[in-house]
Amino acid sequence: MTSAESIKALLRRIYGKKTGVVACARIMPLIEKATKRTRTGPSGFQQGLNVLITYGDTIQRQGQRPLATLHQFARTFLKDAVSVIHFLPFFPYSSDDGFSVMDFYRIDETLGDWDDVTRIGADFSLMFDFVINHFSAKGKWFANYLDGRPGFTDFAIETDPAADLSMVTRPRSLPLLTPFTKTDGRTVHLWTTFSEDQIDFNYKSLDVLEQMIRVLLFYVEKGAQILRLDAIAYLWKEIGTTCIHLPQTHDMVRLFRAVLDRVAPDVILITETNVPHAENISYFGSGGDEAQMVYNFTLPPLLFYTFVKQDCRALSQWAAGLELPSPQ
């Protein structure tokens, strides 16, 4: 089990000695209070483990909630083929096919509820999306931020639009900053990496850190055995840098891994980074301190191309060039 000292050391490294001590005082009680799980099987992915990725409403039947329909379908047709069901965000959302989350703790009521998820978890392992980089501009958290409510004043990243942001890596061709008017009448320009409806979390705020640790532990409590860290590469921002793959971002992945290793060592972290291979596999860390698996978008189109062309040379060439950072 990961020692409390290693978690404290990570917090001090991310936030500095003084703020790190405060972070420890806020985070460690959450970890110690969480229900502990023990590892009962092998750690990480094994050959033969198959994951189905799906939205909550992929399969529908009139008069039945989609999660219940999906469960019946999967239990009838997929039980011998699929080990894990990975739900793309099934929370209340305002845009981006679920990736602009309005409430991280609820299931979208048009799909079902947590009881439906628990029933699916009785037949399949569960994988959830942990939308970790941003939150909805139409949710309660953002309303609290605009109102200046305690615990939410630093939730977003306020940035001077005159600042030189030319080095920032952009995954989408949309404005990096979006203006909003706060309840007190002030106009602020907020960091919005993916869209004006997706407000980037300010992880320099301990309020954000505490809330997202709470979400992480909540998903574990709800039966998640695999968590996909969505858009993790952009988590930490420093003006004057590319704001992608920063050392603080890797340390945050180490922190989430350390928390899980202490609370639920059977839970697997997957990082999602739509970047070249060498950058993608950097999220393995040393092989034991960051993600157990990394996620990228190269393989599906290569498989599709291989089937359509009935020619595996492109796929084989890609696979032959893969290298891993360590034996783990």
- Catalytic amino acids? 230
Q: List C-alpha distances in Å: 28 to 4, 22, 207, 253, 260.
A: 8, 10, 14, 17, 12
Q: List C-alpha distances in Å: 207 to 26, 149, 154, 223.
A: 9, 12, 8, 25
Buried b (16+ CB within 10 A) or exposed e, 157-173: bebeeeeebeebeeeee
Kindly report the backbone phi and psi dihedral angles of residue 40, in degrees, each rounded to the nearest multiple of 5, phi listed first: -110, -15
Q: Are 136 and 86 in contact (CB under 8 A)?
A: no
DSSP character string of 78-130? TTTT-SEEEEPP-S-BSSGGGTSBS-TTS--TTT--HHHHHHHHTTSEEEEEE
How many residues are listed for the chain in this entry? 328
- The phi-psi region of residue 231 (left if phi > 0; otherwise alpha if psi is between -120 and 50; otherwise beta) is left
H helix or E strand, kind and range, residue 42 = none
Burial of 215 per CB tally in 10 Å (0-12, 13-18, 19+): middle
- Both tokens of 51, joined, read 């994951």
Distance, in Å, from the CA atom of 116 to the CA atom of 208, rounded to the nearest integer, reads 29
Q: Are 87 and 54 in contact (CB under 8 A)?
A: yes
How large is the C-alpha radius of gyration of the chain? 20
- The phi-psi region of residue 326 (left if phi > 0; otherwise alpha if psi is between -120 and 50; otherwise beta) is beta
3-state secondary structure at position 292 = coil
